[in-house]
Structure 1
């Protein structure tokens, strides 16, 4: 019998090619040189890699082409990141989806080429494995498997993508009663609820699903647990943001890890804020996700900074908010995983040493 996964993530994997250090975006008829460039698996791989680096046994349900791009993604995901691909399959004569991202002025512009994912009638590529939790992106894909997963006892964590039609139809949210948590960003939440503030959107979504978390970038995140009645507002972690690619997926991975670990709601949201903040300090999507080694390094530096300031200072407040990390960072810091460099030239250099 196959082992039960902690998290199952179905969806499309893209090859992400990221150009960094741009001084300006190219105008028609011009050429711009980029000082830096990286490549890594993207799409749902962002969430899967982030979860795996936090120690969750993670499975990916996707199609990977046998072309060079698909082979690269397969090698990174399976060999480097240790992700279970038994619910995925390789596909001949199918072009890997590709996204080119131009990182500029702490934001990014993207160009994508792709073809429909070859899924079954339930919206999965190779069936539904046993897992404690699963992630689903609502809208645009068949999500018939969600109800079966919920009945099997999985905790379903849902998010939504940008609605290019600008209709923001509530039909996309019809699956929420079968989910455990809904984690939209503030803009998505306000568009779907026709409200004008993240708090108003949170209030309107409360009750549609047991837990609602609305992320708001540099402001932080709001969350409500309808079962307990608990409501929290957790500020973001101040960092020098370079590239927000995949930050929402890293946030979700952190929230899933905290939920499966049985943490308090405020600690789950704070941890998700932290791992998302650490990811945006580096370029790239999936491979910018922090491992426990990166988290331990941040926590050590934060405590050291707090020791040199008054208890009521910003540094002191940050240290108090994240004191729970002493209980959750795995022992054996020297063996903790660190983030890897994004490059298609070779397997990225995730290292186990400090």
Structure 2
């Protein structure tokens, strides 16, 4: 599944997505609700959202640039400091001389998590001219929408021969939504999780959801949490189990999975190899706060041996 390197860019991957400053509360006695004063047993803050994707790619040794806008507020400054400490390339950072706060409070349980979030404004997407200048081999988009700005960006990437990957992130679309089929046909790799895929298709079975989406998108990879992942690519179907790990915090696991899959696209000979790396990244992400327990490239062989022994 190795991607052609004809573009000759500084970046193999261009990650497009916002940062969030995640406040993570663990060990809550119940889900937060009105009139309840809950005390967490543990707390941590971590950079989140597309930061997790950029971090995973940096640790895997992928040449990745992160297109993200930051302000002059304390949250932006702390995320930038962490990114530089982790050797995340900052060549595509956009800096504004005003606050641009994006904060999420996550209440984390072993089986799932929820968020209360605040963002002052959405990130501007790159323009077609930016893509023409940067020329990544792969464009990895956080989130999904049908607005004209995103459609123009995706079409420009396709015209330049750039592979487009996108996740879904709980948007309220159905396959019957006008424009959804056309957008899926423009995307090369679609990366929803199982609940998103079932909600999008109206199917209650993840394999039927996979088949339904694969009618429109060449490669579909569905993240199935503790059950690993399933995928369909040009008629080839594949299932890879998750690693056996102790779940600590699921925040950021999907973003880390996406990074692992894209790294696999660039380096693995086939679909299964790419999914194996994605599953390793997603599985290890849940063993610490906010995806911080991510592997480095040198660690992959060890975890692939462990997976083969299952």
Identify the TM-score tier after normalising by the shorter chain.
Answer: 0.7 to 0.9
CA contact under 8 A between 1:220 and 1:234: conserved in structure 2?
A: yes
Distance in 2 of aligned mates of 1:100 and 1:41: 12
| 2:117 aligns with one of 107, 112, 116 | 112
Corresponding residue pairs, total: 297
- TM-score under structure 1 length normalisation: 0.76
What's 1:233 paired with? Answer: 239
Structure 2 alignment gaps of length 5 or more: 1-7
Determine which structure has more spread, i.e. the larger CA radius of gyration. Answer: 1
What's 1:159 paired with? Answer: 167
Cα offset for 1:35? 3.5
Indicate the SS of the match to 1:284: helix
| 2:214 aligns with one of 206, 214, 238 | 206
Distance in 2 of aligned mates of 1:27 and 1:203: 38
| 1:176 aligns with one of 174, 180, 184 | 184
- TM-score under structure 2 length normalisation: 0.85
Give CA deviations for 1:132-188 in whole Å, capped at 9, x if unaligned. Answer: 111122116631211111222211111111125889836345322232211111221
| 1:279 aligns with one of 273, 279, 285 | 285
Q: 1:12-51 maps to which residues of 2 (within 5 A)?
A: 12-51=18-57
Structure 1 alignment gaps of length 5 or more: 303-317, 322-354
Distance in 2 of aligned mates of 1:23 and 1:288: 25
What's 1:133 paired with? Answer: 138
What's 1:319 paired with? Answer: 308
Distance in 1 of aligned mates of 2:163 and 2:94: 24
**Larger RCO, structure (CA 8 Å, separation 6 or more):** 2
Q: 1:45-194 maps to which residues of 2 (within 5 A)?
A: 45-77=51-83, 79-119=84-124, 123-124=125-126, 127-128=130-131, 129-136=134-141, 137-139=143-145, 142-143=149-150, 144-163=152-171, 169=177, 171-194=179-202
Q: Please, what is the CA RMSD of the aligned residues?
A: 2.6
Runs of 4+ with >6 A deviation: 165-168
Cα offset for 1:55? 0.9
Cα offset for 1:111? 0.9
What's 2:262 paired with? Answer: 256
What's 1:216 paired with? Answer: 224
